[in-house]
Amino acid sequence: MEIKGPTGSVPVDIEPTQVGASTASRESRNAAAAPSQSVLLKLSPNLFKLGQVLNVIVAKVEQNALLLTVQNKFTDQNGTPLNIQLRAPRAANIEAGQRLQVEVTDLKQNIPSLKVIDSQRPALVLTDLLNQAQIKQQPLQQLLNNLIQVKTSQGLFNALPKEVTEKIDTLWRALPEQSQMQRSNNVKHAIQYAGPFLESQLLKLGLQQNRFFPAMDTKNNLLRLAEALRQQNNISASREAHTHTQTTTPLTQTASTTTTQASQPTSTTAHTAQAAADNKAIPVPTKVDPNIPTPPAKQSTMLPSMNANQILELLTQQTEGSLQRTLTQQLQMLNADNLRQQLIFELPVKHGNNVDVFDMRIHPDQQGHQQDTDQARPWTIMMAFDLEGLGPIRAQISLFNERISTHWWAEQPNTVELFQLHMEALQNRLSQVGLEVDKVRCQQGVPTVAAKAQQKSLYTDVNLDEKA
């Protein structure tokens, strides 16, 4: 299965169609119901202009009319974003979900008459793609843990087809080493090859705008591994159909159990839920901050108890699930509703025969700083990881000009004590690279959002582990 992010759709030739709006409405984020056309007319006499090109989506196709949702960004006098819908006579070859470009050809009482100048028919809208990817995604850490078992067990390694083990070796060799992460250029290189940026890097490579080696990219190697696994599964299925014998428990049951376990809340989430249940008497409820990612779980499947066919099918399921997680990250970065451009990726780092996955979000904080340059704009890095001996850890790092603040949350008390012992060393290292240290903190527990702050959250991310 070829996994692709949304790249638009093939334009469909269509004859220019005159579209005359008959009604209009708008919604603000806080409105309980869509205001009438008369409310929209009072917004601004300059809301639309002759010759203006609008991007719209066909929200609904009725018997004699189309309901168009305008995608251009409009705001009211208070700066509140508006969702504008225009009803128009039904045109031929137009379907719900179709993207159109329309030109304003006339204005009557601030209501535009429109002419379709371009039409796109996407297979799925972004939200639908995101929903599907999130349902199918599985953690990269879980797959890598099982690949470690294969690589470190000669019996397991020899039991799998050569076509599969070669792809596992290629993926493993391409992962960055812990010793390389001491230099900023190597970190940048590792992020570039983390997976979510594969298509954009290939595009730049085709335009000769960069040097890129696809064999080093995590997503590219996962795609090759998934293809090899699927081919071997097909061969195994053909053999089983020919012999009509089955002497082992079907992997579908094992894989289903594994998937169910993977979809269950991690120990971190379960601990948080239990803590919330034990503290019902607290008058001001708290909520775990969804913007700071959850540390990847260290769980893995006992592969020695499975036969080769079961291992192949399980690895196929986990590899495709990891690709769906990468697609989820790509779709989140493409989400036009997000108020800030952000980078979302998982960075696997090897150390010996083990690998740790760092779930990271990097973004410029655009609230109140839209006019700032990139150098003066505040940057925020949020990450989560689970290191052996330290347990689950979350972090938020803020950088504005040369001033830096860090906040760490560790679930194990011994880890907090260890961090406290090295806080001074961290401050000294940050100072040595020319940064002014504002705050460096570490506390036990998880980052929470106060009840009053939930309605005015600084961030608008959708939790990648939840359905959009």
CB 202 within 8 A of CB 212: yes
pLDDT for the residue numbered 304: 92
Q: Is 384:293 a contact under the CB 8 Å cutoff?
A: yes
Instruction: Count other Cβ atoms within 10 Å, centred on residue 242.
Output: 8
Cα–Cα dist 247/307, whole Å: 10
Q: At 274, phi and psi to the nearest 5?
A: -65, -40
**How far is residue 252's CA from residue 257's CA, in Å, rounded to a whole number?**
8
Residue 389, CB half-sphere, CA atoms under 13 Å: how many?
A: 3
The predicted pLDDT at position 104 comes to 86
* Cα–Cα distance list, 31 to 28, 36, 68, 334 (Å): 5, 12, 19, 26
Q: Residue 44: what pLDDT?
A: 62
* Cα–Cα distance for residue pair 413/419, rounded to 1 Å: 10
Domains for the chain: give ranges and CATH numbers: 17-123 (2.40.50), 130-241+284-366+373-456 (no CATH)
- What's the predicted TM-score (pTM) here? 0.64
Q: What is the pLDDT of residue 203?
A: 87
- Calculate helix-pair angle for 308-334, 140-152, nearest 10 degrees: 150
Let me know: does 302 contact 272? Beta carbons within 8 Å: no
Contacts of 221 (CB under 8 A, 6+ apart): 167, 170, 171, 174, 215
CB atoms within 10 A of CB 127: 12
How far apart, in whole angstroms, are the C-alpha atoms of residue 127 and residue 335?
A: 8
Burial of 446 (0-12, 13-18, 19+ CB in 10 A): buried
Contact status, residue 224 vs residue 167, Cβ threshold 8 Å: yes
pLDDT given at position 14:
40
What lies within 8 Å, CB to CB, of 29 at 6+ separation is: 80, 81
Residue 289 confidence (pLDDT)? 82
HSE (CB half, 13 Å, CA atoms) of 236?
18
- The pLDDT value recorded for residue 22 is 43
Interatomic CA distance for residues 138 and 142, integer angstroms: 8
The Cα 11–Cα 368 span in angstroms is 38
Q: Strand, coil or helix: what is 467?
A: coil
How many residues comprise the chain? 468
Nearest-angstrom CA–CA distance, 189 and 179: 14
Q: How far apart are CA 234 and CA 241, in angstroms?
A: 10
Reduced to 3 states, what is the DSSP secondary structure of residue 108?
A: strand
Burial class of 78 by CB neighbour count within 10 A (0 to 12, 13 to 18, 19+): exposed
Distance CA 43, CA 25 (A): 11
Between CA 417 and CA 412 the distance in angstroms is: 9
How crowded is the C-beta side of 467, counted as CA atoms within 13 Å? 6
Q: How far is CA 24 from CA 19, 302, 345, in A?
A: 13, 60, 40
The tens place of each residue's pLDDT in the chain, 468 residues long, gives: 444 444 444 344 444 444 444 444 444 444 444 455 445 555 566 788 888 888 888 888 888 888 888 888 887 777 777 778 887 777 777 777 788 888 888 888 778 888 888 766 554 567 778 888 889 999 999 999 999 999 999 999 999 999 999 999 999 999 999 999 989 899 999 999 999 999 989 988 888 888 899 999 999 999 999 999 999 999 888 887 777 555 554 444 444 444 444 444 444 445 555 555 555 444 455 677 888 899 988 777 899 999 999 999 999 999 999 999 999 999 988 864 555 568 999 999 999 899 999 999 998 765 544 444 545 668 899 999 999 999 999 999 999 888 999 999 999 999 999 999 999 999 999 999 899 999 999 999 999 875 444 444 443 344 565 544
Q: Report the pLDDT value the prediction gives residue 66, as an integer from 0 to 100.
A: 82
Distance CA 36, CA 457 (A): 30
The strand pair at 343-351 and 354-364 is best described as antiparallel
